[in-house]
Structure 1
Amino acid sequence: MGRLLRRNGDVFAAPMEETTLLLSVATGRYHGLNPVAAHIWDLLADPIDEAGLVARLVAEFDVSAEDCQREVAGFLANLRARGLLMDA
Protein backbone atom coordinates (compact mmCIF):
# COMPACT_ATOMS: atom_id res chain seq x y z
CA MET A 1 0.00 0.00 0.00
CA GLY A 2 1.28 3.45 -0.88
CA ARG A 3 1.27 6.65 1.09
CA LEU A 4 -2.20 7.58 2.30
CA LEU A 5 -3.46 10.98 1.19
CA ARG A 6 -6.23 13.25 2.41
CA ARG A 7 -7.63 16.68 1.82
CA ASN A 8 -6.17 19.58 3.76
CA GLY A 9 -8.68 20.32 6.51
CA ASP A 10 -8.25 24.08 6.00
CA VAL A 11 -9.83 23.93 2.53
CA PHE A 12 -13.54 24.47 2.01
CA ALA A 13 -15.46 23.27 -1.05
CA ALA A 14 -18.64 24.66 -2.61
CA PRO A 15 -20.38 23.25 -5.69
CA MET A 16 -21.35 25.82 -8.32
CA GLU A 17 -23.09 24.57 -11.48
CA GLU A 18 -20.43 22.59 -13.43
CA THR A 19 -17.59 23.57 -11.10
CA THR A 20 -16.60 22.99 -7.49
CA LEU A 21 -14.76 25.88 -5.92
CA LEU A 22 -12.16 25.26 -3.24
CA LEU A 23 -11.08 27.99 -0.84
CA SER A 24 -7.78 27.64 0.95
CA VAL A 25 -8.01 29.37 4.30
CA ALA A 26 -4.21 29.52 4.56
CA THR A 27 -3.74 31.39 1.28
CA GLY A 28 -7.16 32.95 0.67
CA ARG A 29 -7.03 31.60 -2.89
CA TYR A 30 -9.83 29.92 -4.79
CA HIS A 31 -9.32 26.86 -7.00
CA GLY A 32 -11.86 25.51 -9.50
CA LEU A 33 -12.45 21.80 -10.11
CA ASN A 34 -14.22 20.18 -13.04
CA PRO A 35 -16.70 17.36 -12.23
CA VAL A 36 -14.10 14.55 -12.39
CA ALA A 37 -11.61 16.49 -10.26
CA ALA A 38 -14.42 17.26 -7.81
CA HIS A 39 -15.19 13.53 -7.61
CA ILE A 40 -11.55 12.81 -6.81
CA TRP A 41 -11.69 15.57 -4.17
CA ASP A 42 -14.72 13.81 -2.64
CA LEU A 43 -12.84 10.49 -2.61
CA LEU A 44 -10.03 12.21 -0.69
CA ALA A 45 -12.39 12.92 2.23
CA ASP A 46 -11.18 9.64 3.74
CA PRO A 47 -7.51 8.65 3.64
CA ILE A 48 -6.75 6.75 0.44
CA ASP A 49 -3.60 5.98 -1.52
CA GLU A 50 -3.02 6.81 -5.17
CA ALA A 51 -3.49 3.20 -6.28
CA GLY A 52 -6.84 3.09 -4.47
CA LEU A 53 -7.96 6.27 -6.22
CA VAL A 54 -6.97 4.89 -9.60
CA ALA A 55 -8.75 1.59 -8.94
CA ARG A 56 -11.96 3.40 -7.95
CA LEU A 57 -11.87 5.68 -10.99
CA VAL A 58 -11.11 2.87 -13.45
CA ALA A 59 -14.12 0.98 -12.05
CA GLU A 60 -16.37 4.04 -12.39
CA PHE A 61 -15.22 5.58 -15.68
CA ASP A 62 -14.34 4.33 -19.16
CA VAL A 63 -10.58 4.93 -18.86
CA SER A 64 -7.53 2.72 -19.06
CA ALA A 65 -5.53 2.15 -15.89
CA GLU A 66 -2.45 3.70 -17.53
CA ASP A 67 -4.23 6.89 -18.61
CA CYS A 68 -5.98 7.16 -15.26
CA GLN A 69 -2.71 6.70 -13.34
CA ARG A 70 -1.02 9.43 -15.35
CA GLU A 71 -3.90 11.89 -14.95
CA VAL A 72 -4.38 11.19 -11.24
CA ALA A 73 -0.65 11.55 -10.52
CA GLY A 74 -0.62 14.94 -12.23
CA PHE A 75 -3.75 16.10 -10.44
CA LEU A 76 -2.45 15.00 -7.03
CA ALA A 77 0.87 16.75 -7.67
CA ASN A 78 -1.06 19.91 -8.52
CA LEU A 79 -3.14 19.66 -5.33
CA ARG A 80 -0.01 19.10 -3.25
CA ALA A 81 1.79 22.06 -4.86
CA ARG A 82 -1.16 24.31 -3.96
CA GLY A 83 -1.24 23.07 -0.36
CA LEU A 84 -4.63 21.40 -0.81
CA LEU A 85 -3.47 17.80 -0.22
CA MET A 86 -1.69 16.24 2.76
CA ASP A 87 -0.32 12.91 3.86
CA ALA A 88 -2.82 11.14 6.11
Structure 2
Amino acid sequence: MREFNLLVSEQMKTMDKLLFLQGELERCEEIEEQLQLIQQETELESIQHEIKMMKNELKAIHKIFETQTEEVIRSYQDMNVPV
Protein backbone atom coordinates (compact mmCIF):
# COMPACT_ATOMS: atom_id res chain seq x y z
CA MET A 1 0.00 0.00 0.00
CA ARG A 2 2.89 2.36 0.77
CA GLU A 3 4.32 2.01 -2.75
CA PHE A 4 0.90 2.69 -4.25
CA ASN A 5 0.50 5.85 -2.16
CA LEU A 6 3.97 7.07 -3.16
CA LEU A 7 3.22 6.46 -6.83
CA VAL A 8 -0.09 8.31 -6.61
CA SER A 9 1.60 11.19 -4.78
CA GLU A 10 4.26 11.50 -7.50
CA GLN A 11 1.60 11.33 -10.18
CA MET A 12 -0.32 14.17 -8.51
CA LYS A 13 2.84 16.31 -8.53
CA THR A 14 3.26 15.56 -12.22
CA MET A 15 -0.38 16.49 -12.86
CA ASP A 16 0.18 19.82 -11.09
CA LYS A 17 3.16 20.52 -13.39
CA LEU A 18 1.10 19.49 -16.39
CA LEU A 19 -1.80 21.78 -15.52
CA PHE A 20 0.51 24.70 -14.75
CA LEU A 21 2.37 24.31 -18.02
CA GLN A 22 -0.85 24.03 -20.00
CA GLY A 23 -2.06 27.27 -18.42
CA GLU A 24 1.22 29.01 -19.21
CA LEU A 25 1.11 27.73 -22.77
CA GLU A 26 -2.39 29.10 -23.25
CA ARG A 27 -1.29 32.45 -21.80
CA CYS A 28 1.68 32.63 -24.16
CA GLU A 29 -0.45 31.70 -27.15
CA GLU A 30 -2.81 34.56 -26.31
CA ILE A 31 0.17 36.92 -26.15
CA GLU A 32 1.34 35.55 -29.49
CA GLU A 33 -2.00 36.39 -31.07
CA GLN A 34 -1.92 39.90 -29.63
CA LEU A 35 1.63 40.48 -30.85
CA GLN A 36 0.71 39.26 -34.32
CA LEU A 37 -2.08 41.80 -34.36
CA ILE A 38 0.26 44.66 -33.51
CA GLN A 39 3.04 43.19 -35.65
CA GLN A 40 5.92 43.40 -33.22
CA GLU A 41 8.11 40.89 -35.00
CA THR A 42 10.99 40.72 -32.48
CA GLU A 43 8.72 40.05 -29.53
CA LEU A 44 6.66 37.67 -31.65
CA GLU A 45 9.71 35.53 -32.43
CA SER A 46 10.63 35.45 -28.75
CA ILE A 47 7.18 34.29 -27.65
CA GLN A 48 7.04 31.73 -30.48
CA HIS A 49 10.31 30.26 -29.23
CA GLU A 50 8.94 30.13 -25.68
CA ILE A 51 5.77 28.40 -26.93
CA LYS A 52 7.83 25.79 -28.79
CA MET A 53 9.88 25.07 -25.66
CA MET A 54 6.73 24.76 -23.53
CA LYS A 55 5.12 22.38 -26.02
CA ASN A 56 8.22 20.17 -25.90
CA GLU A 57 8.21 20.22 -22.10
CA LEU A 58 4.49 19.46 -22.09
CA LYS A 59 5.07 16.40 -24.29
CA ALA A 60 7.80 15.16 -21.94
CA ILE A 61 5.62 15.64 -18.86
CA HIS A 62 2.74 13.88 -20.62
CA LYS A 63 4.98 10.85 -21.21
CA ILE A 64 6.04 10.85 -17.56
CA PHE A 65 2.40 11.05 -16.48
CA GLU A 66 1.44 8.13 -18.73
CA THR A 67 4.29 6.04 -17.33
CA GLN A 68 3.27 6.92 -13.78
CA THR A 69 -0.32 5.96 -14.57
CA GLU A 70 0.85 2.54 -15.74
CA GLU A 71 2.93 2.14 -12.56
CA VAL A 72 -0.02 3.11 -10.37
CA ILE A 73 -2.24 0.58 -12.13
CA ARG A 74 0.39 -2.18 -11.79
CA SER A 75 0.92 -1.35 -8.13
CA TYR A 76 -2.82 -1.43 -7.46
CA GLN A 77 -3.17 -4.74 -9.28
CA ASP A 78 -0.24 -6.19 -7.31
CA MET A 79 -1.92 -5.15 -4.04
CA ASN A 80 -5.09 -6.96 -4.99
CA VAL A 81 -3.55 -10.23 -6.17
CA PRO A 82 -4.49 -13.00 -3.71
CA VAL A 83 -1.47 -14.59 -2.09
Superposition TM-score tier, normalisation by shorter sequence:
0.3 to 0.5
TM-score of the aligned structures, taking structure 1 as reference length: 0.34
Q: Which structure features the higher share of strand residues?
A: 1
TM-score of the aligned structures, taking structure 2 as reference length: 0.35
Q: Which structure features the higher share of helix residues?
A: 2
Which of these two proteins has the greater Rg computed from alpha carbons?
A: 2
